[in-house]
Amino acid sequence: MTDKPSPSTSGGNTPGYAYGQPEVARSPISLQDLEQLKASVMFGPADQQALREAGEVLSGQIHDVLEVWYGFVGQNPHLVAYFSTPDGDPIPDYLARVRQRFGEWIMDTCTRPYDQEWLDYQEEIALRHTPAKKNKTDHANSVPAIPLRHLIAFIYPVTATVRPFLAKGGHDQEKVEAMHQAWAKSVTLQIALWSRPYAVEGIW
Ligand code: HEM
């Protein structure tokens, strides 16, 4: 099982990772909506800077972070089910490939500018959780969608469990706190964006 993303975050050898590629559709969300959403989660330039530093701390720990997150999924059969066949058999290859892209996402969250290209890949990731695109990238024989309620609930584990890793970079408590707050804001922002295809037209 390969789960070490390229440290460059280029994603060159991560199957199905399509950041910046022509096949990624343009997000229907405007950059103005993105700016407003950033304001709603209190995300500002200091957070972007704190995420850059978080990226430096996390870059050597991606494998260990993913061990924790996948361990959590593995302990919850109702979550493993979304990486399984409709009959409930886990699909190891699907788990492994998505895991590698998850590693790319950690570094993208920390290091990419939140611009049009980033917004477009947010839409792509959103769709990959819905019947529009789930399973397509990996040709997986899995269930068609991940319910929105689990995406929202998953914000907590993805946020809480990252703190010990941020604390391993040798920074003082204040800096660790700033990095963790920035991470929490970004994950919340991203799941807000990913909720778009689940929402009733006009009230997203
Ligand atoms: C905070 C919430 C979540 C985050 C940040 C997240 C992150 C990601 C990322 C980064 C990818 C890969 C994107 C790519 O293809 O480049 C992905 C795909 C996937 N995620 Fe999530 N995810 C979340 C919630 C969940 C939950 C609750 C489940 C259910 C177990 C789940 C199951 C999956 C599956 C099955 C895929 C593969 C989709 C496909 O077929 O392409 N995710 N997720």
Q: Which ligand 1 atom is at minimum distance from the Cα of 155?
A: 1
CA distances from 59 to 2, 65, 88, 103 (A): 16, 10, 34, 9
Paired strand residues for 90: 84
Contact between 129 and 146 under an 8 Å Cβ cutoff? The reply is yes
Paired strand residues for 63: none
Helix axes 45-58, 92-111, angle to 10 degrees: 130
Mutate to test the pocket of ligand 1, among 13, 128, 138, 158 (most ligand atoms within 8 A of CB): 128
Nearest CA to ligand 1 atom 25: 151
pLDDT at 4 over 50: no
Amino acid occupying residue 156: Y
Could you tell me the pTM of the whole model? 0.95
For the Cβ of 139 lying below 6 angstroms from any atom of ligand 1, the answer is no
**Ligand 1 center–CA 44 separation, angstroms:** 25
Note the pLDDT of residue 25: 84
**Ligand 1 center–CA 15 separation, angstroms:** 15
SS3 90: strand
For the Cβ of 193 lying below 6 angstroms from any atom of ligand 1, the answer is no
201, with CB counted inside 10 A (0-12, 13-18, 19+), is exposed
Structure tokens at 141: 């024989």
Region at 25 (left for phi over 0; alpha for psi -120 to 50; beta for the rest): beta
> CA geometry: angle at 151 spanning 125 and 27, to 5°?
30
Higher-pLDDT residue of 31 and 1 is: 31
CATH number for the region 31-198 comes to 1.10.490.10
**Ligand 1 center–CA 50 separation, angstroms:** 24
pLDDT at 197 over 90: yes
Amino acid occupying residue 87: D
Mean pLDDT in residue range 50-57: 98
What φ, ψ does residue 176 adopt, rounded to 5°? -60, -40
For the Cβ of 97 lying below 6 angstroms from any atom of ligand 1, the answer is no
pLDDT at 46 over 60: yes
